[in-house]
Amino acid sequence: MKKFVPILFLSLLLILFVGCIAQNDKNEDLTPYLKSIKNYSTDMDMTIQNDKQKLKYEAKQFYSQGLGYRLELNKERVFIYTDDKISVSDSISGQKYSIDSTSDDVYKISFLNEFIKLLNVDGKTNYTFKKINGENYELLTASMAENNRNIDRLVLYVNQKEKSPRALVIYDAKGNEKIIIKYSNFKNERHIDKSLFNVN
């Protein structure tokens, strides 16, 4: 019996130790992984709430490091973002035109890499962990660098098991939800079709 007590005690310590390691693994910060993504594609639903109405959009996103962003909005318009401009192709009117890259914050902020840039503003990553509908999430919080009443705080929900973003909620300066973006079919692509980013 005396020999049994130390063995039981050591077994309990081992179980607690392994449990702590497993918990730490489950709550691993995914920010470095998200920063390392070089190409991705995802479907996206965006809801914008203003004082008068609620606007809903469906879109498809593509990102490639060094090439830029592509947003296919409601199967009506295609936006290709490069460093200094946004090239727009309107499939309904058949028109193509360019606009200044600073004129469109709402769509561009929906890209994962734009959110990650905001995390690097103060050199700190603000994150918490939460269980939602039986799944583990990391919640990454960032603030706009500029003084913007409509876009003040952003919270990205990352599914820990899949290592993929599921939602981005954008709050105004008063703490109201202004934009809700839901991601689905997120794919970390090894290779992506470079022709998707052609502006001609």
- Confidence at 16, pLDDT banded by 50, 70, 90: very low
3-state helix, strand, coil in the chain (%, to 5): 25, 45, 35
- Confidence at 4, pLDDT banded by 50, 70, 90: very low
When pLDDT is averaged across residues 57-61 and rounded to a whole number, the result is: 96
- Whole-number Cα distances in Å, 179 to 11, 44, 80, 131, 141: 50, 12, 21, 22, 15
Please state whether beta strands 153-159 and 135-143 pair in parallel, antiparallel, or not at all (unpaired).
antiparallel
| Entry pTM | 0.82
Q: How many residues does the chain have?
A: 200
pLDDT of residue 168 exceeding 70: yes
pLDDT of residue 188 exceeding 70: yes
- Whole-number Cα distances in Å, 103 to 38, 84, 99, 106, 135: 25, 11, 7, 9, 37
Mean pLDDT of the chain: 84
> Would you call 17 helix, strand, or coil by DSSP?
helix
Tokens representing residue 26 in the block: 């489950």
At 92 the pLDDT is 86
Cα 124 to Cα 97: distance, rounded to the nearest angstrom: 38
> Would you call 119 helix, strand, or coil by DSSP?
helix
pLDDT of residue 118 exceeding 90: no
Share of the chain above pLDDT 90, in %: 56
Please, which residues bridge with residue 61 across strands? 42, 71
Cα 165 to Cα 28: distance, rounded to the nearest angstrom: 15
- Confidence at 59, pLDDT banded by 50, 70, 90: very high
At 57 the pLDDT is 94
